[in-house]
C-alpha cells in the first residue's frame, strides 16, 4: 500500500541539507545513473526512491565503498 511519503518530492537543497551531501555530489550520482530525478524545467525533483537510494549510497561511502 502506498503511503503519503511515497509521493513526496524533494529538491536538491532539501536532500543536501538532510544528508549533509553537496549538490555537486548529487549531480555526480545522477551522471553515473545512480539517481534519476524528474525535471521541472531546469529543476531536479527527487522522489522517495531517489531519497532511499541516496541514503544507501552515503551509507556505503561511510563504510568504505567508493
CATH number of the domain encompassing residue 24: 1.10.1660.10
Q: What pLDDT sits at residue 2?
A: 59
User: What tens digit of pLDDT does each residue of 16-56 get?
Assistant: 999 999 999 999 999 999 999 999 999 999 999 999 999 99
Q: What pLDDT sits at residue 7?
A: 86
21/66: higher pLDDT: 21
User: Rounded to whole angstroms, what are the CA distances from 39 to 16, 28, 36, 55, 60?
Assistant: 17, 16, 9, 21, 27
Identify the H or E element spanning 43: strand 43-45
Could you tell me the three cell numbers for 47?
522522489
Q: What pLDDT sits at residue 21?
A: 97
Could you tell me the three cell numbers for 40?
521541472
Residue with the three cell numbers 531546469? 42
Q: What pLDDT sits at residue 6?
A: 72
- Residue 51 belongs to domain spanning: 4-62
Alpha helices per DSSP H over the chain: 12-19, 23-31, 48-62
Structural domain tally of the chain? 1
Amino acid at each position: 500500500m502506498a503511503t503519503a511519503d511515497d509521493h513526496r518530492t524533494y529538491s536538491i537543497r532539501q536532500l543536501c541539507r538532510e544528508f549533509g551531501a553537496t549538490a555537486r555530489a548529487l549531480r555526480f550520482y545522477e551522471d553515473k545513473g545512480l539517481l534519476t530525478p524528474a525535471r521541472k524545467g531546469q529543476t531536479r525533483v527527487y522522489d522517495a526512491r531517489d531519497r532511499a537510494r541516496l541514503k544507501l549510497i552515503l551509507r556505503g561511502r561511510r563504510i568504505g565503498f567508493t
